[in-house]
């Protein structure tokens, strides 16, 4: 502020003492340009009025020079001051708009992540919820029989309990993911976990007339990772494969599942005989909300990849040489970590 007053005083003195022909007052505009961004709109306007007033006052006090030229120079200086104030006002308005847009964007991002979270929960729990409904209907049928088949009914009820446990495990997992918690790393048998997930998808595989070929390595070392995340990922890969193969005739629908050891890691391969992936799809399909399906949400693969990577693994996919898509899921084996 003191510097500003000194600057204004200096310009006023020089403008008054020099001839009309020397347009020192233009420097008021330069001064306003220099300090304008630090002032509020009202202060800027007040400063401009003071500068205009001093320009006119200097003109009246200047003793020598050509009066006509002095008038023109004074006019130019006032116009320059007005122009700079106008430009500053425009810049400030644009900055305010940009700030408002940024706040709006931040709100939108928040809403979007909320929407993403709710759709991811819906996506992940749909499968066990469907299985619970099927088991509940079966349970009702067993009980409605004459005499009621209590053994079968209680088996169905047990399946409901298992699926309910699965739902709460999934919700806990999604919640811990969104809260940035570390994923559990435990030793688990990938072949057994695969068998359980495959069983859940059995009704869908049968309905779509898909034959399943498994090539599971015997005496597979234990995998190190989060079993629930692994099963969610595999469930998602199986559903995608089932949906992809819907577009080929039933006799060509084959799902290949294999486990093997690769560089001290355990590798799961899920291959289908569907139409395969388009060239640019190999990376894009792992982006959130990227889908080619009319009713797809495009979040299954992106969530799966972040879960597997959080557990120290990898998930990727590409085309098979003889048609269809193949997905690879790699997790460290217990041996490697020791």
Nearest CB to ligand ADP, comparing residues 151 and 279: 279
Pick the stretch among 48-56, 77-85, 87-95, 293-301 that binds ligand ADP (CB under 6 A): 293-301
Greatest alpha-carbon span in the chain? 123
Question: Does residue number 272 form part of the binding site for ligand ADP (CB under 6 A)?
Answer: yes
Residue 51 CB coordination number (10 Å)? 26
Instruction: Tell which one of 274, 313, 329, 331 touches ligand ADP (CB under 6 A).
Output: 274
Give the Å distances, CA to CA, from 16 to 26, 55, 77, 86: 13, 9, 14, 26
Task: Please count the CA atoms within 13 angstroms of the CA of 250 that sit on its side-chain side.
Answer: 5
Instruction: Tell which one of 285, 310, 311, 329 touches ligand ADP (CB under 6 A).
Output: 285
Question: Does residue number 259 form part of the binding site for ligand ADP (CB under 6 A)?
Answer: no
Instruction: Tell which one of 73, 74, 231, 240 touches ligand ADP (CB under 6 A).
Output: 240
Is residue 255 packed enough to be buried (19+ CB in 10 Å), middle (13-18) or exposed (0-12)?
buried
Give dist(CA 115, CA 170) in Å, integer: 18
Nearest CB to ligand ADP, comparing residues 162 and 319: 319
Question: Does residue number 235 form part of the binding site for ligand ADP (CB under 6 A)?
Answer: no
Give dist(CA 189, CA 223) in Å, integer: 6
Give dist(CA 115, CA 118) in Å, integer: 5
Pick the stretch among 23-31, 44-52, 63-71, 297-305 that binds ligand ADP (CB under 6 A): 297-305
Question: Does residue number 201 form part of the binding site for ligand ADP (CB under 6 A)?
Answer: no
Task: Please count the CA atoms within 13 angstroms of the CA of 117 that sit on its side-chain side.
Answer: 15
- Smallest separation, CB 240 to ligand ADP (Å): 3
- Smallest separation, CB 177 to ligand ADP (Å): 16
Nearest CB to ligand ADP, comparing residues 293 and 335: 293
């Amino acid at each position: 502020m003191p510097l500003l007053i000194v600057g204004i005083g200096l310009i006023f003195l020089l403008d008054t003492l020099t001839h009309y022909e020397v347009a020192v007052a233009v420097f008021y505009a330069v001064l306003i340009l220099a300090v304008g961004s630090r002032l509020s709109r009202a202060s800027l306007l007040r400063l401009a009025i003071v500068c205009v007033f001093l320009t006119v006052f200097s003109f009246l006090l200047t003793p020598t020079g050509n009066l006509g030229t002095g008038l023109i120079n004074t006019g130019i200086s006032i116009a320059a001051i007005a122009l700079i104030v106008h430009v500053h006002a425009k810049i400030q308005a644009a900055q305010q708009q940009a700030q408002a847009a940024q706040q709006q964007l931040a709100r939108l991002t928040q809403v979007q992540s909320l929407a993403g979270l709710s759709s991811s929960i819906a996506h992940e729990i749909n499968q066990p919820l469907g299985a619970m409904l099927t088991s509940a209907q079966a349970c009702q049928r067993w009980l409605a029989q004459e005499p009621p088949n209590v053994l079968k009914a209680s088996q169905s009820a047990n399946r409901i309990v298992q699926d309910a446990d699965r739902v709460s495990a999934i919700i806990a997992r999604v919640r811990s993911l969104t809260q940035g918690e570390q994923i559990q790393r435990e030793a688990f048998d990938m072949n057994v976990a695969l068998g359980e997930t495959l069983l859940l998808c059995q009704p869908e595989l049968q309905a779509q007339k898909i034959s399943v070929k498994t090539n599971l390595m015997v005496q597979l070392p234990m995998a190190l990772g989060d079993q629930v995340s692994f099963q969610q990922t595999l469930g998602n890969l199986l559903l995608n494969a089932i949906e992809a193969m819907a577009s080929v005739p039933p006799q060509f629908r084959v799902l290949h599942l294999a486990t093997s050891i690769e560089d001290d890691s355990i590798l799961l391969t899920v291959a289908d005989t569907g139409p395969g992936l388009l060239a640019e799809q190999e990376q894009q399909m792992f982006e959130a909300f990227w889908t080619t399906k009319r009713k797809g949400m495009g979040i299954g693969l992106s969530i799966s990849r972040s879960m597997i990577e959080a557990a120290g693994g990898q998930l990727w996919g590409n085309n098979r040489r003889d048609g269809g898509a193949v997905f690879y899921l790699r997790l460290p084996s217990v041996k490697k970590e020791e």
